Structure 1
Amino acid sequence: KTHADVARVLSLPKKSKDRMKMLTKLRNKGNHSHNSEVLASGIGSLKLRRTAKTNYEGRDYIHCMYCQALYLRRDLWRHVRKCSSKPVEANSEVGRKKVLSLASMNESAQCQQISPGVWKILTGMKDDEISSTVRSDLSILQLAQSFFNKHGQDPTKYDYIHQRLRECGRLLLMLRKDFSIHTFEDAVRPANFDVVISAVKKVSGYDEEKHCYHTPSLALKLGHSLQKVNDILHCRALMTQHSTLIKSTQSFKTLFAKKCSELLSHTALTTLNEQHFNKPSTLPFTEDVQRLHRHLEKKTELALKELKEHSSPKSYSELCKATMANVILCNRRRGGEISKMTLNGFQERDTSPLHKDVAFGLTKFELHLCQHFSRVELRGNKGRKVVVLFSPDMVNNITLLMEKREDCGVMAENLFLFARPHCLTPFRGQDCLRLYASECGAENPELLRSTQLRKHVATLSQILNLKNHELDQVANFLGHDIRVHREYYRLPEATTQLAKISKLLIAMEKGSLKSFQGKTLEEIEIEGNAFILCSMKELDLFLANVEKRITLG
């Protein structure tokens, strides 16, 4: 009775609502303390808010994050909707999985050691055994904090953070089940190095007989995550002056640097490279691109008319998706770059007239293009500044979308230009492009993707005799590093060998190579009858010689 909360309850009138509410709160608080001890020790009986007819195990129950009463996991969402202790600002329409994530995070022993932003990201994960493993390990939580410190300002990176954390959770779950290693702090001990490598291989689907991975990229990602976790533990040990952990993490880092290539990365990279062998060219056909252009024009026209007549989330979404797909197609931009374009970024675009001195060096046609297109700068891959060009029709469509945002249910907090109604995320560019590619009647709609379209323009630009500075301009517009552009976005290697190198080999075979002295491969022309072979036997002999020279060369 001397406790402050108890004294406050006793001071209230008997049978009053406030007194009953305070008593329930105190009772739940005491039961929560008791239940936590029972669940930790496995001894004793649980104090339930509502007794179930069927017997359940302790793991089937979870405490409400607001009133701290104990409920079945499957029933918690019903209680939360009407929980009297829930704050007013809490969302009343949270789904089942979200409720369980919030409750699980509330019970996590380490939840107080991470920032609220990380907490918010973790509650967005699917509530299952993997996410529970993630929340139970301090090292993974600190890895999440590290990712949040780096990418927290970009909401579009949250899915990436989820993915990386779930990968670590899968690895730790494997270590717990098969190797009795329960934390990453135990895993990075030098004595457990071989065990950790075995777990990584098992998670990544390593085939001992074929010496290859089912998911080679996962093995590489887990290798990077292990190094990151080890660095986090090393920093923690330095700050706490934990000499044993300092030596352990340092030794593990040395082991990993020496043995990782041999045991993990070399085989994974080999598997990845072999997957690209003998793959057909994936460049889209010009006819299919034209079909997609025409289809988008029709879709945009219909959606524009409908939105002007009836402002609704459906008509807004149709115009938004069609405009986004059109911007991606015309600019050959990555879908993610257009998706992440912000409203402010578009509104603050440079609309100043062209400088007179600059205009002096342009042709009339180039001057017209400068006046025709609007230019918006945005952040691209690896932080590069990339440019998006908007035609007047695109600008008009986007302006209408901006005017109708509030009427069509777009939240004021949604900062994206191509925003979804009733949520805080944008439309996905790849999804929009895939949708219209499948509808346009293209012969190969699977090739009408942003990656293939970018490769299409970058590769076909090689056909033009572009100078170095012109090639640099194309690469900069596409957001490519010029070295990567020259190395990967060139004419398909098979085409080069068949169309160009074979001319050289034929000339050598016929003994006429001297007549082409001083000429480039493009200038070499073989007379029509020079390639006519007398018989199949001669053809086989010729092909064998060509194959032999390619192999030796």
Structure 2
Amino acid sequence: MYCMGMFVRRDLWRHLRRCPSKPRDAGEEQGRTRVLGLATMAESTFSQQISQGVWKLLGVMKHDDISVVVKNDWSILQLAQSFFNKHGHDPTKFEYIRQKLREIGRLLLTLRREFSIYSLEEAVKPAYFYRLIQAVQRVSGYDEESHCYQSPSLALKLGHSLNKICEIIHCRALMSEDKELISSTDTFKKLYSSKWSELISHSALVTLNEAKFNKPSTLPFTKDVQCLHQFLEKSAHAAFEKLKETASPQSYAELVKTTLARIIVFNRRRAGEVSKMLLKSFQERDSTSLHDDVALGLSRFEQKLCSHFSRVEIRGKRGRKVAVLLSPDMVDALTLLVSRRSECGVQDTNGFLFARPHCQSHYRGQDSLRAYASECGAQNPEFLRSTQLRKHVATLSQILNLKNNELDQVADFLGHDIRVHRDYYRLPEATTQLAKISKLLIAMEKGCLPDLQGKSLDDIEIEDEISVNDSEASGPDESDAEDDVSASSSRLVNAAASSDVDVQMHIETAAEVCPENETEIGNPRKGQKVCWSTAEVTAVMKHFKSHITKGKLATLTECQQCKTAEDPVLARRTAQNIRDFVRNRGISMKRKSQNK
């Protein structure tokens, strides 16, 4: 009741005689029964009892120095009880609780060995705050020279756990009306809020962020996804027939794994969510027919889809309700698995749909998906994971230009908060910068930014405004040839300053401007501009004179119609060449009017 240490009942009275935390005015002579009574009273007064569920949870922990520390520190046990109060109803969270306890146990072990601090209640005293900082840095592998952590996430997690432990001790102090302990925990909270970020969190977050710099995209390729789909379909069919003929744990496990992987890939669902699907959820799935009034707002194809797929609601992340769609062959496979559970050794008390035989756990979807991704023959099997598949569908859905309500539906099905969906599942940042921001930069370099007034980044088309490929772009006419040549020469000179480019050759190529009446051009070298003949100019001006006069840009469709109508005069010109010609003439005419 003084040091809050954990001792065997029969040895508690011996420790009490020499307890260093024992106050001086406490009685010296106390019998064994009296000591046990005081300890029991202190336990019930200062904190809640440690439940049998917590001891059972700790009983399967690996027996080593860390587990010994965890089981013998009262503050850690109270932390375990707090976790159990929240997540005790979900056995799948027990491993998470054990991991959190082992993290804080490693910290206490370091405090004991290197700083002579033997309990977490002592560690959260304000006088030992900097020792606690040093212990967290050592456990997390902090390098003082580079200011980086080997395990930055561990440093952040330890901070949250220590704050939680301080709150537990503070509540205990309030209940026991221990003013000194109340003041101590309040002071620690102030130190934590003002100094922890400076000394621990900031460096840890910087280490985490730097690890993501220049990280390549891991989106799966469509061909690999199709390859995985086909492989899973064949494997599931073979496993279905095998279990139908012979009920054994091996055939049962094969069908469970293939069906589990198929559901994850088809629904783009988190692997853990599907793995924890309950048998009760599948049996109580929504099998009602489509409501007649609702059917009026759907197309005939959408109505068929509603009758084709079954819908199962499961618990997703943060308790959010999410849906899983099942095709008829998936339902048949799951129905067969349910009917053969007892024959294949699955216990009646196991409530998981994808249950393991002879135990209370379930098969892990990520393990099944990883194995089949390696076997299906995909070029990049490491990208075929549930997280990458979810990001794949969320990212590519942007190409469809979905409306806000449609985007909400996609995010809701994936189990995303819409803000998370927009922040983390948009097109990759590198792709956005290459495809969109570069258009703006090139437009500024070309000097045609005023022509883009009123347009968004999505509205700007590179082929509309900017000639990216000089080999495909048409040559300028006589009126703006001089300006284009000077601009090209300037850019090439600048480029040569940082690379081994033959500047003179490029300048001569850019300066090759032919008169418009030239009709014979021969076979131009790649990268050499092809001059426009008088007949070609006349043919284009016949269709786009008003566009050029008004400074309006031509569309690809209009240019293709012009090319078809003026064949064979424009046979050697592409629709893109015609668009560039109209744009160049419009810019040239605009410059002339401004000079006047």
Q: What is the aligned partner in structure 1 of residue 427 from structure 2?
A: 491
* Structure with larger Rg: 2
Match of 1:413 in 2: 349
CA distance in 1, matches of 2:291, 2:311: 15
> In 1, Cα distance between the equivalents of 2:497 and 2:406?
44
Given candidates 409, 417, 426, the residue that maps to 2:362 is 426
> In structure 1, what is the equivalent of residue 242 of structure 2?
306
**CA 1:197–1:540: 2 relative to 1, 3 Å:** farther
* Structure 1 residues 304-453: aligned runs within 5 Å: 304-453=240-389
Give the whole-Å Cα distance in 1 for the aligned partners of 2:319 and 2:206. 29
Give the superposition deviation at 1:518: 3.5
1:277 correspondence with 2:208: no
CA contact (8 A) 1:372 1:391 kept: yes
Deviation (angstroms), 1:539? 3.9
User: Is 2:222 the counterpart of 1:291?
Assistant: no
Q: Name stretches of at least 5 consecutive residues in structure 2 with no aligned partner.
A: 1-7, 19-45, 471-487, 500-596
Q: Is the 8 A contact 1:328 1:338 kept in 2?
A: yes
Which residue pairs with 1:148 in the alignment? Answer: 84
Matched, 1:524 2:524: no
State yes or no: 1:254 paired with 2:190. Answer: yes
Q: Distance in 2 between matches of 1:435 and 1:477?
A: 26
From the superposition, tell whether residues 469 and 34 of structure 1 become closer, same or farther in structure 2 (CA, over 3 Å): closer
Partner of 1:266: 202
Q: Distance in 2 between matches of 1:184 and 1:501?
A: 52
Alpha-carbon separation, structure 1, partners of 2:363 and 2:156: 30
State how 1:77-116 maps to structure 2 within 5 Å: 113-116=49-52
* Residues 200 and 530 (structure 1), Cα distance of their counterparts in 2 relative to 1, 3 Å cut: closer
For 1:13, the equivalent position in structure 2 comes to none
Could you tell me whether the CA contact under 8 Å between 1:111 and 1:119 is conserved in 2? no
Identity of aligned residues (%): 63
Letter in structure 2 aligned against 1:199: A
Deviations 1:328-347 (A, max 9, x none): 00000001100111000111
Q: State how far apart, in whole Å, the 1-side matches of 2:493 and 2:349 are.
A: 74
* CA gap 1:283/1:540 in 2 versus in 1, 3 angstroms: farther
Do the aligned residues in 2 keep the contact of 1:516 with 1:524 (CA within 8 Å)?
no
Distance 1:233 1:34 in 2: 27
Contact 2:47 2:172 in 1 (8 A): no
Q: CA deviation at 1:227?
A: 0.5
SS of the equivalent of 2:325 reads: strand
Specify the code of the residue in structure 2 equivalent to 1:481. Answer: D
Distance, in Å, in 1 between the alignment partners of 2:237 and 2:431 is: 40
The amino acid across from 1:524 in the alignment is E
Q: CA deviation at 1:203?
A: 0.3
Contact 1:418–1:426 (Cα < 8 Å) also in 2: yes
1:188 equivalent to 2:95? Answer: no
Q: Secondary structure at the match of 2:399?
A: coil
Instruction: Please state whether the residue corresponding to 2:462 is helix, strand or coil.
Output: coil
1:202 aligns with: 138
- d(CA) in 2 for partners of 1:539, 1:156: 59
Matched, 1:500 2:436: yes
Q: For 1:323 and 1:279, how far apart are their aligned partners in 2?
A: 33
**How many residues are paired up?**
445
Rounded to whole Å, the distance in 1 between the matches of 2:129 and 2:453 is: 61
Name the Cα RMSD after superposition: 2.4
SS of the residue aligned with 1:153? coil
Shift of 1:38: 9.8
Shift of 1:35: 8.9
Q: Is the 8 A contact 2:462 2:468 kept in 1?
A: no
The one-letter amino acid paired with 2:219 is L
TM-score by length of 1: 0.77
Structure 1 residue 260 displacement after superposition: 1.1
**Amino acid of the structure 1 residue aligned with 2:172:** R
Asked if the contact 2:282/2:353 (under 8 Å) is kept, the reply is: yes
Report deviation, 1:507: 1.7
